Structure 1
Amino acid sequence: MQKTNELSNLTKWLDQFPLFHSGDEVDEVRQKVGHIFVPHNLNVIGQEQHLSADMNHLNLENTSVNTLKYGAGVKITCDPFEKFLLIMLPMTGVMDAEVENGRVKACNDVAALINTSDPLSMNWGEHCNQLIIRVNKSLIERTCETLLGHPIKEDVKFASALDMSKGHNIYQSVIHMLATNPFLAESAKLYPLITKQLEHLLASSLLLNQQNQYTQKLLNPEKIITPLYIKKAEEYMNEKASEAITLQDVANNVGISLKTLHNGFQKYRNDTPKNYLKNLRLELVRKDLIAAKLEKSNTTVTEIALRWGFIHLSHFSESYFNKFGEYPSATLKN
């Protein structure tokens, strides 16, 4: 990773995405920063009383790239983020962050990784300018489940000190690419699949390189032979997802009892067949929403949801948000 003063120069291209510059009104700055992250308390500390805050913000698919600078020393406290985590790397100055599992002194070689469930208290030194990468919780969860081969029951909790010194961890390269590529915004619009791959690479590299409660299973996956009836059940649900099938239909097609179907999914997929089918249909809804957006059609969220069997629209919308980190209307419009 580049030295932080070099990184500060390399991120100047983000000035073309200003959220605000030279902000001195504490309440106004707090409100604008809180809109991007979460509501929080912001207090000026130390001798320098001019806040002199600057923030740039570039929003991508499942991440955002930000720079945030306070001229004065500040103390920030907030409740857990819940829907995202933050990677916070001082490019100039230092920051002390107190999180659930201890304290992190973020500097030029160490970034603070703030988990979704961490209540947070931070002290920023004067003239602290930070690169902040926001990563949606849904991206981390989906990537972890893909790597493990089954759903997870607990939110991923990373170790809070992220080594950014010179080394060979791939997440350093991905963070650097997100922060210093002046063509990122244009590329995200023209080639969204590349941006998604880059975000997936960031999530994968964090999961495999930064200590978390799934590290051992991720690095040493169990070799479990999945019974043929589970694979056939999944194939049947994939094929019939658009039809009004029941779990009894699935069990009958495979030639097993409903109880065996449930027990098998619990044992080999750490999931229920009902949840598997729901998640499959949510993925197909998302695919149709993105297609409708690209085609600029007049198709509505309701039409697509009903097409895939989601009758209770409020429940559907909440399930969609929990899985993808945004509501279906946002997928269709953004």
Structure 2
Amino acid sequence: MHDLSSEPVLPLARYRLAVTGSPEEIRSMVGREINDYGLSLVGRDEQLRARFHGVSLRNAGLYYLAYGATVRLDILDAGGFVVQMPLAGSAAISMTGAERFVSHSLRPAVLQPRTRAGISLDAACEHLLIRLDEDLVRSVLRKKLCRDVNGPLAFAPQMDLTIGANRAFRELLTLLTSMLDNDVSHSSLAISEFETLLAGQLLIGQPNRYSEELHRPARPAVARTISRAADLIEAHADQHLTGDDIAAAVGISTRSLQDGFRRYFGVTPRTYIRNVRLQRARHELLCADPARVTVTSVAVRWGFSHLGRFSALYRTAFGESPSDTLRLKDDAPTHIECG
């Protein structure tokens, strides 16, 4: 009898998506999960033995893929940032604007949105693919730089796993794979946090357009000034505040205040004030007696004179209407302190 226990357990085996000899079936399945692409068999006498495992997370996806034959992939758009991490075999890769190179276990490839790539995989090639949504990576970058970012991130196309920061990326990926293999729910908070960790480690370790700024020493004096401005807003959110007032109070120009808030919080001072007031309004609605308090009175108290605009902003921020929050008073979380 054949001993099944002697067969190696493949990564993400419990998330099997396809085992097939059909080029169209595997192309369609991978295209649905990661990105659309062209697939062609290179060896005339080879038979495709494709295996595809994986799971889509909230803002990412992790996959194991092997074709079992020599194939050529033509990618017009990776759809996100995709790190192709060979576990065995190798892949010859050519990308728009980059020299042709070979991807192997110590030199993974980094595919990018809106960038064409041609990939030739040998028959022995097995790899993990981690897809990080562009919105996720940009969000993490904005938080690291404390400002908005525009234009392509322009990662170097080949990753060097002999570098410490990139080894950390590989270790995070290994740990995430192990957690999923060991039945940790892919929708759990722990798994979701890995998405942000991987995006942050990719930004720190892999050379990109913002690497110099990411590694630039912080400017603590400026940070303290902006922090003081934020504290002032928190303390006086129920009062009339303008950018000029806040800038004068902390001793900088209005323009410096604007630049500082964009850098450290990713928003203007005006938006920061509005967000603080929305939070205060929500707290008051959660604590209020619906028989005695109206949404309008709370909105006006926190500086929102246009009820329709307040309701729209509130729903965007909290996923429910102000009136829904007020009606939920009896079900308010017990950790909310009212009074």
Same fold (TM > 0.5): yes
Checking the alignment, whether the CA contact within 8 Å between 2:261 and 2:268 is kept in structure 1 is no
> Does 37-46 or 145-154 show the bigger shift?
145-154
Please point out which of 127, 137, 140 is paired with 1:143: 140
The residue that corresponds to 2:73 in the other structure is 76
Change (3 A) 1:267 1:162: same
The residue that corresponds to 2:170 in the other structure is 172
Change (3 A) 1:166 1:274: closer
Amino acid at match of 1:154: G
What CA distance in whole angstroms lies between the structure 2 residues aligned with 1:144 and 1:78?
26
Q: CA deviation at 1:117?
A: 3.6
Amino acid at match of 1:121: G
Change (3 A) 1:308 1:129: farther
Query: Would you identify which runs of 4 or more consecutive aligned residues in structure 1 move more than 4 Å?
Result: 165-168, 182-185, 227-241, 260-263, 274-281, 306-312
- Give SS of 1:131's match: strand
Checking the alignment, whether the CA contact within 8 Å between 2:83 and 2:108 is kept in structure 1 is yes
What CA distance in whole angstroms lies between the structure 1 residues aligned with 2:40 and 2:273?
45
Amino acid at match of 1:62: N
What CA distance in whole angstroms lies between the structure 2 residues aligned with 1:118 and 1:46?
27
Q: After TM superposition, list the pairs within 5 Å mapping 1:167-316 onto structure 2.
A: 169-183=167-181, 185-189=183-187, 191-192=188-189, 194-223=190-219, 225-226=221-222, 231=227, 234=230, 250-251=242-243, 254=246, 261=254, 264-266=257-259, 269-270=262-263, 273=268, 276=271, 309=310, 311=312
Q: CA deviation at 1:252?
A: 7.2
The residue that corresponds to 2:13 in the other structure is 15
Q: Which runs of 5+ in 1 are unaligned?
A: 1-7, 285-305, 321-334
Q: Normalization by structure 1: what TM-score? A: 0.67
What CA distance in whole angstroms lies between the structure 2 residues aligned with 1:188 and 1:30?
24
The residue that corresponds to 2:87 in the other structure is 91
Q: CA deviation at 1:195?
A: 1.9
What CA distance in whole angstroms lies between the structure 2 residues aligned with 1:27 and 1:275?
53
Output the aligned Cα RMSD: 4.0
Checking the alignment, whether the CA contact within 8 Å between 1:58 and 1:185 is kept in structure 2 is no
What CA distance in whole angstroms lies between the structure 1 residues aligned with 2:152 and 2:169?
20
The residue that corresponds to 1:63 in the other structure is 60
Amino acid at match of 1:128: C
What CA distance in whole angstroms lies between the structure 2 residues aligned with 1:43 and 1:35?
18
Deviations 1:130-168 (A, max 9, x none): 111111222222222222222222332221111235967
Change (3 A) 1:100 1:252: same
Amino acid at match of 1:175: L
Amino acid at match of 1:88: Q
Identity rate, percent: 18
Amino acid at match of 2:47: H
Q: CA deviation at 1:263?
A: 6.3
What CA distance in whole angstroms lies between the structure 1 residues aligned with 2:205 and 2:130?
17
Change (3 A) 1:111 1:277: same
Deviations 1:36-73 (A, max 9, x none): 11222111112344222110111222221101111222
Q: Which runs of 5+ in 2 are unaligned?
A: 1-6, 280-306, 320-339
Instruction: Using CA pairs under 8 Å that are at least 6 residues apart, name the structure with larger relative contact order, 1 or 2.
Output: 1
Report the number of matched residues: 276
* Structure ranking higher in strand proportion: 1
